Amino acid sequence: MNLSKRIELLVGLGEYLKRNDEEMEAIRHRAWAENKWFLPAYSQLSGLNLANAMLQEDLLVNLAAKYRVPDAKIDKTVGLIMAGNIPYVGLQDLILVFLAGYNQRIKASSKDSVLINHLLDCLYQLDPAVRDNIRLEDMLRGCDAYIATGSDNSARYFEQYFAKYPHIIRKNRTSIAILDGTENEKELGELADDIQLYFGLGCRNVTQLFVPKDYDFVPLLNALRKYDHYREHDKYKNNLDYQLTIAIMNNRFYMTNDSIVLVENESPFSPISQLHYRFYESAETVLNGVDMEKIQCVVGHGQIPFGKSQHPGIMDYADGVDTMEFLMGLRNC
């Protein structure tokens, strides 16, 4: 299967993800039945964003040219261990490995088996020969390289297990936003999306704010009301009630609009339904002391624009590791 054929199939996959017919609706509802965090609307949104940002012919052609992807298929196999925190979260790796011309063996997350299975079925329908290139497996053995995404705890296991193979091991990451107090209503509404889209479960979701002294939180709390409907989601509501109870029991200062809890906390990682914030004295030193190895995105003026954290491009690589460069380097291993 040559490069042009691989690109053609990926473009076809993108067109499939854009569909909103009864079949796709049924798949999204099956995914929701398996994982209640995967609202059908979120599976649709994630698929559409990926189709537009990663599965367009010009993007794939330019990416292949930039990295000098060979025309011929490479007789090596890459094992992928996918996360399952938000819909289609592992799709970028699948795209890049397929474009690069490698075989791949995929261990899907138990939280996201429906969507990935369906995508592979789509590729198989477009070209049955893809079955020789991509397969789902419960155990990944005998691969030439590995790309694994998980928690800090699982990363320690991955690093030990895959030590003798070329690998990319991804750990816990999250995102932050730097506010200067001049944000308008539109920007705050877009920031609300950065915070709450996909219930805040993605590594590109903002979980901590850096704000100037005397920052007025009321406009932000009002902007976050666009996600008041989360209170009707059982899992989210349970987390919200728990975080409110903990704050009250600990006599801790908090702010809430009844759908999210804001607390001052040095940690960039916040639990579901909670948002951390920190005050800063100077814009020049705002990130001093921040462990940037834990940060996926920084949102704000002069950073990633508000509302764009969950819209990565095909070369916005997770953890800042150039996945395509890694894959091209495997040719000589």
Give the pLDDT confidence of 312-327 residue by residue, as tens digits.
999 999 998 999 999 9
Q: Which amino acid is at 28?
A: R
CA 299 – CA 206 distance, rounded (Å): 8
Query: pLDDT exceeding 70 applies to what percent of the chain?
Result: 100
**Encoded tokens for 146:** 């590995």
Dihedral sign from CA coordinates of 182, 185, 190, 193: positive
Q: Mention the CATH class of domain 3-172.
A: alpha beta
| 294 pLDDT above the threshold of 80 | yes
Report pLDDT for 283: 87
Report pLDDT for 96: 98
Residue 104 DSSP SS3: strand
Average pLDDT over the chain reads 95
Cβ pair 326, 166 in contact under 8 A: yes
| 155 pLDDT above the threshold of 90 | no
Instruction: Outline which parts of the chain fall under CATH 3.40.605.10.
Output: 3-172
Q: Which CATH number is associated with domain 174-300?
A: 3.40.309.10
Residue whose entry in the numeric block shows the structure tokens 């008041």? 228
CA 198 to chain centre: 10
| 303 pLDDT above the threshold of 90 | yes
Instruction: Outline which parts of the chain fall under CATH 3.40.309.10.
Output: 174-300
Cβ pair 201, 239 in contact under 8 A: no
pTM listed for this prediction: 0.94
Give the pLDDT confidence of 205-251 residue by residue, as tens digits.
999 999 999 999 999 999 999 999 999 999 999 999 999 999 999 99
| 93 pLDDT above the threshold of 80 | yes
